[in-house]
Structure 1
């Protein structure tokens, strides 16, 4: 049922990229909007078509040039420009596809409201073109007052002085000008009028300096995940450890071998070792019976029964660990994961172990210390309670409806 303020169903268009960490946080919000009677179209590459359709939304498919979740993580490069250039190049070739898909003959029609992931550059251009409100869904931290001076400018100082960096911003500015957006790249990129933050406030750095007139923390938007399947705890497992580096940075056979060495045959422990698609059980050598090696597992279902979580500290995994009150050891791999690991450690619910130090002895000591500490359990219980009060999926849907025209 729709919010009483908006009893007329609307057409809401969601835009994202083909990455689990950017699609998954939005799925329950989309499902809720559909359940309230709205027509939701969701622009996404074909790889995620089935996942989107399962929510009841209409997938609007486009071709992408971005590396996919099954590609080698090395495809993203190693420098800041390596990381951002693909998004702009993809946006330039994607935007005409989306204009045709929404405005063309037989298209799905111009929406009443745009919602979009932070990675979807075309969404902001389309909202301007159509003259409709836009809401950003952020699956990780947002900028705080002072972020530009403290983080962004120092980070970009050197790349901006290079010919490649100058060319990037000139290309971005020219693209915006071509489509009539009266902003520079600096004014457009990451500057949002309205953002729903899909992480608990506990994971936000400098939370007290975030402008909450523009940014609302709705916390984890989790459903029952029944469609992902379930996981059954072995009857003889006294304690369960989940090891997962998420969906993108999983090509780490040496790390997984250290995990097998650390926890294999550890009395009373059952280990669920998710290795992704780039590593097989054969790459790990002899695997003891208490180690369950899987390419993928229904993470939330496992965490609801786990006693410890060895994680890369991605935004999704971090908040799932908090939501299930699971003690964590964080071994970050890239981007925001390092900051998340520090936040979790600062909250007293995780230990941050750098990848270079993640040998068997260190990992075993860290996991056992976190799992056995009653103070960790107490802090997790407090955070879990606070997260429940942030509103999650239903509050996110309410706030989206509140932005509908009229």
Structure 2
């Protein structure tokens, strides 16, 4: 069977697809990925054929976001979904994605959950489709509610008849989020998601990083996006200054978009790197301090680590609230630098949180294996 995975740009969008793609390829199926050019290095490293489709330019993105300067960070979804992901981004993606489908003729299309052109093209060509959630199920409910109308417009544009709401809500869904975190949120009415263990079982990636000292290690990251936002990059220094006096060792990873030399003061208990594989860090860590991005949260939960979450934008606010409500961590709101040191100290001695984290790690380890999920995806082409 031929499976075409589709993604918008950004590591938080393309990476959740890779465990399923690898599993499907390992089962002998033909796998290719359609995504914008910025995803090329990740796709090439994963070893898959890449169908490139266009994405919005910097000026085009600015035209969308410019009028909304000052919008509350957790309200960004109200703009991002209808105007960008299910709007201009999907429309720009359509020609290249249609060409990929006409050239390769996939049996199934599997999209990451805010890549809407994949759904529309699948409907236009009569191809079964599914989605992999890049957010928790509760936030996906919100996202989907904003996508219904723009997706209907896209469907009309390609001559595909049908109810866009039903197409989204009844689509088979796969997620790596455990039920403990999602609560009673579903992928749609009578449409429970398949919850999948996507953790790698391979060897720990090689790295030249080692822990600096004997004190408890806190792994700190704000993901790969924050450093590219000028108004967010300054938080690194503020938070490091706040953590300087804690009885911890800190590993801060900043990603490729941040100039480490711009930090004026790096405390003695801090090691700053552009990148260290999380799988190499987690066995040494006592806690995580992060922005609440899905990838970091899930990796940390899978390792049984408590987390201090300092949300910056998008779904991170919802993730932070859910983590605290589930007893898996603590949320620190603005001004972050005023509460983060106390939260880090508290979370490493809170036995209730430690026990909850151990339970959710066991829950995640017991989820459906990725190869079973891949066969379910393939089964869609067989009418299953």
TM-score of the pair, normalised by structure 1: 0.81
- The structural deviation recorded for 1:305 is 1.9
**Aligned 8 A contact 1:21 1:316 in 2:** yes
Give the distance between the partners of 2:224 and 2:305, measured in 1 at CA.
Answer: 20
Give the distance between the partners of 2:96 and 2:233, measured in 1 at CA.
Answer: 39
- The structural deviation recorded for 1:261 is 1.6
1:193 aligns with 2:192: no
Give the distance between the partners of 1:177 and 1:248, measured in 2 at CA.
Answer: 34
1:395 aligns with 2:372: yes
Identify if the C-alpha distance between structure 1 residues 173 and 129 changes in structure 2 by more than 3 Å, giving closer, same or farther: closer
- The structural deviation recorded for 1:284 is 2.5
1:32 — aligned with what? 23
Larger radius of gyration: 1
Q: Root-mean-square deviation (CA), in Å?
A: 3.1
Give the distance between the partners of 2:343 and 2:202, measured in 1 at CA.
Answer: 30
Give the distance between the partners of 1:372 and 1:22, measured in 2 at CA.
Answer: 34
**Aligned 8 A contact 2:173 2:187 in 1:** no
Give the distance between the partners of 1:124 and 1:241, measured in 2 at CA.
Answer: 40
Structure 1 unpaired stretches of 5+: 1-9, 157-164
- The structural deviation recorded for 1:226 is 5.9
Q: Deviations for 1:64-101, whole angstroms, at most 9, x for unmatched residues?
A: 11669xx9x97796455542312221222221122223
Give the distance between the partners of 1:92 and 1:130, measured in 2 at CA.
Answer: 16
1:336 aligns with 2:315: yes
1:16 — aligned with what? 7
Identify if the C-alpha distance between structure 1 residues 127 and 253 changes in structure 2 by more than 3 Å, giving closer, same or farther: closer
Out of 156, 159, 183, which is 2:162 matched to?
183
1:58 aligns with 2:57: no
- The structural deviation recorded for 1:135 is 1.0
Identify if the C-alpha distance between structure 1 residues 336 and 184 changes in structure 2 by more than 3 Å, giving closer, same or farther: same
1:96 aligns with 2:95: yes
1:3 — aligned with what? none
Identify if the C-alpha distance between structure 1 residues 337 and 391 changes in structure 2 by more than 3 Å, giving closer, same or farther: same
Structure 2 unpaired stretches of 5+: none
- The structural deviation recorded for 1:371 is 0.7
Give the distance between the partners of 1:286 and 1:296, measured in 2 at CA.
Answer: 19
Q: How does 1:78-97 map to 2 (within 5 A)?
A: 78=71, 79-80=76-77, 82-84=79-81, 85-87=83-85, 88-97=87-96
- The structural deviation recorded for 1:367 is 0.5
**Aligned 8 A contact 1:13 1:42 in 2:** yes
Q: How does 1:204-219 map to 2 (within 5 A)?
A: 204-207=182-185, 213-219=190-196
